[in-house]
């Protein structure tokens, strides 16, 4: 009886992807880059929302343009969100501008959730999503 090896019968089918084509795992990493700020919002009240995309970019940026662009644009957008949140805190501390701070926080919170979900949906289709209002730090 002939012994079979893994290379003779590669795993294919749903859930397995071609090992030479990492499109499925690249989409997963891109989705993770877009959704990690929402996870950080829950776990850290938004203080480290930029950390997830930054880690994806640092570790997997060379996996392909989808992962690199998703992580970079998500990081850039979340740095912008972070800056606007700080401006909201400065407004809040002035007491007179508390209504402005509340509006800033609401817009940033809703925008971050909605745009991150849109980015994740586009990444699941293999499309590159560019966030509006982002400071271009990572490319």
Q: What is the pLDDT of residues 44-82, one digit of tens each?
A: 776 788 888 999 999 999 998 999 999 999 999 999 999
What pLDDT is stored for residue 6 in this prediction? 44
Chain centroid offset of residue 95 CA = 34
What pLDDT is stored for residue 49 in this prediction? 83
Q: 136: closest CA among 81, 87, 77, 82?
A: 77
Where the chain has pLDDT below 50, the residues are 4-20
Q: What percent of the chain has pLDDT over 90?
A: 60
Domain ranges (residues) in the chain: 23-124
Mean pLDDT in the chain?
A: 84
DSSP E strands in the chain: the ranges are none
């Amino acid at each position: 009886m002939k012994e079979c090896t893994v290379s003779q019968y590669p795993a294919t089918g749903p859930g397995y992807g071609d090992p030479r084509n990492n499109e499925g795992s690249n989409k997963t990493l891109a989705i993770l880059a877009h959704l990690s700020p929402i996870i950080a919002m829950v776990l850290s009240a938004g203080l480290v929302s930029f950390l997830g995309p930054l880690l994806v970019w640092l570790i997997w940026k060379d996996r392909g343009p989808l992962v690199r662009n998703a992580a970079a644009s998500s990081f850039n957008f979340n740095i912008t969100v972070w800056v606007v949140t700080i401006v909201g805190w400065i407004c809040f501390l002035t007491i007179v501008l508390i209504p402005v701070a509340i509006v800033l926080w609401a817009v940033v919170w809703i925008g971050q959730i909605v745009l991150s979900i849109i980015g994740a949906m586009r990444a699941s289709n293999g499309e590159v999503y560019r966030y509006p209002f982002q400071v271009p730090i990572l490319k």
